[in-house]
Amino acid sequence: MNEIQQLDQKTYFQTYKRLPITLSHGKGSRIWDTEGKEYIDMLAGIAVNSLGHAHPALVHAVKNQVEKLIHVSNFYTTVPQVRLAEKLTRLSGLDRVFLCSSGLEAIEGAFKTARKHANSKGKNGPIISLEGCFHGRSIAGIASGKEQYQQGFEPMPGGFLQIPLNSKEAIDEHVNDQTTAVIVEPIQGEGGIRLVDPDFLRYVREKCTKHGTTLIFDEIQTGIGRTGAMFASELVGVKPDMVTIAKGLGGGVPVGAILATEELAMTLKPGDHGTTFGGNSLASAAALSVLQTIERDDLCRKAGEKGKVFLKELNDKLSGHPLVKDIRGMGLMVGVELTIEGASVMQKMAEYGVLVNVASVHVIRFVPPLIVSTEDLSTAVDVLKSVLDEHNTDSA
């Protein structure tokens, strides 16, 4: 353990199981630690560094904005904030935007918006989420999420109900004229890269429309090009009423957003909701440059294509491996489900120079920068295969 890691253990909240790696700088999809060791970054800060590290467009936008204006109160408009909002409405087809600083905050604001809207229609039924979901670590986020994350933080607030994934029967049973909202991740990220059935999503859309229930897509992980489209909702052909985004939007600069229909957005009146940092000039300029670069360089389409090549190579080299249960994903959001726990595999891969993480205990998660090269994707497959082969030999 180096000096920084020792200091971390003494001073930081011990809420993360960290690897003994202290990172120093990055370029593209490569990152280096303080010892000078180079890694392929297949995690991208958990689907955050969409343009990789030190992308010239993002560096330029941030430097330029820092010299002009970092932050003002939301009592005033700024050019980057409003330009970003306008761009997000155009990209999403939704009418209005509320900018914030993280995924958790986007979820919290979306829940408040859905509740105020439901209350105004005389409804007080639950916000329904799907088993295996993850909507962040606020109290409302964990109340809608896995029981495991609720433990020790009781009592949970009321007004949340979790139903089985992909079950039309459960939707029939629980979505009615009183239901406030249904919240869905088109692909569950923390839940282990689990794809939600598009047919189920279309069914949920129909039911929500019928009952005047708000349909929220949590695209905090799937959004901003990750799955091969700007929003995963485009790929499943479902238009939600509200979308939450964060992660890849700022390319590493903390920024999130709620996107909503006119009707939903306008139920919040002055004073109903707010944030000090949300959509400040620096974060907005960063997010604008990320979106411009994604559009200019056609990164959504390229992420979709690279994802197909990556999945094929994973399948060619690993399907049928005794330690591999399933390989799945969309675009550059890919999971390899193992028959063993993933922690030791993740650790060994880091030793061999590839950074990944584990979602839902058994799934090795790959969410690299959108600009990752096919060579780096290929190396990551080979490293995973070597680690699994070694593990298999050791335990034989």
Ligand X SMILES: Cc1ncc(COP(=O)(O)O)c(C=O)c1O
Q: Which is nearer to ligand X, 102 or 227 (CB)?
A: 102
Amino acid at 191: G
Residue whose Cβ sits closest to ligand X: 103
| Stretch near ligand X under the rule CB under 6 A, chosen from 114-122, 130-138, 306-314, 354-362 | 130-138
- 29-68 residues in contact with ligand X (CB under 6 A) are 46
Quick check: 220 binds ligand X (CB under 6 A)?
A: yes
Which residue in the set 40, 94, 99, 107 belongs to the binding site for ligand X (CB under 6 A)? 107
Cα distances (angstroms) measured from residue 298 to each of 94, 291, 301, 379: 22, 10, 6, 24
What angle (nearest 5°) sits at the alpha carbon of residue 126, between those of residues 215 and 256?
Answer: 50
**What would you report as the CA-atom Rg of the chain, rounded to the nearest whole angstrom?**
21
Phi, psi of 303 (to 5 degrees): -65, -40
In the shown chain, the binding pattern of residues 164 to 193 toward ligand X, with x for contact by CB under 6 A and - for none, equals: ---------------------x---xx---
Work out how close the CB of 365 gets to ligand X at its nearest, in angstroms, rounded to a whole number: 10
- Using CB under 6 A as the binding criterion, the count of chain residues that bind ligand X stands at 15
Q: Which residues neighbour 121 within 8 Å (Cβ) at sequence distance 6 or greater?
A: 212
CB within 8 A of 194, min separation 6: which ones?
132, 165, 187, 188, 328, 335
Cα four-point dihedral sign 353, 303, 84, 110? negative
Contacting range for ligand X; rule: CB under 6 A; set: 14-22, 50-58, 102-110, 272-280: 102-110
> Does 281 help bind ligand X (rule: CB under 6 A)?
no
| Residue 135 interacting with ligand X (CB under 6 A) | yes
Binds ligand X by CB under 6 A, chosen from 102, 129, 214, 360: 102
Q: How far is the CB of 191 from ligand X (least distance, A)?
A: 9
Choose between 28 and 251: whose C-beta lies nearer to ligand X.
Answer: 251
Neighbours of 120 (CB within 10 A): 10
With binding defined as CB under 6 A, does residue 366 bind ligand X? no
195/381 with CB nearer ligand X: 195
> What pairs with residue 26 in β-bridges?
31
CB of 60 to ligand X, least distance (A): 25
The residue from 125, 136, 248, 335 that contacts ligand X (CB under 6 A) is 136
Q: How far is the CB of 56 from ligand X (least distance, A)?
A: 26
In terms of CB distance, is 218 or 376 closer to ligand X? 218
Interface with ligand X includes 223 (CB under 6 A)?
no
Q: Which of 218, 241, 337, 376 binds ligand X (CB under 6 A)?
A: 218
Q: How far is CA 6 from CA 2, 14, 25, 33, 195, in A?
A: 6, 12, 20, 16, 39
Residues 6+ apart with CB under 8 A from 198: 235, 236, 237, 238
Side-chain-side CA neighbours of residue 156 (13 Å):
18
* Best CA proximity match to 349, nearest among 22, 32, 41, 25: 41
Q: Are 27 and 58 in contact (CB under 8 A)?
A: no
Q: How far is the CB of 192 from ligand X (least distance, A)?
A: 12
**Least CB distance from residue 174 to ligand X, whole Å?**
21
Residues that bind ligand X (CB under 6 A): 46, 102-104, 107, 134-136, 185, 189-190, 218, 220-221, 246
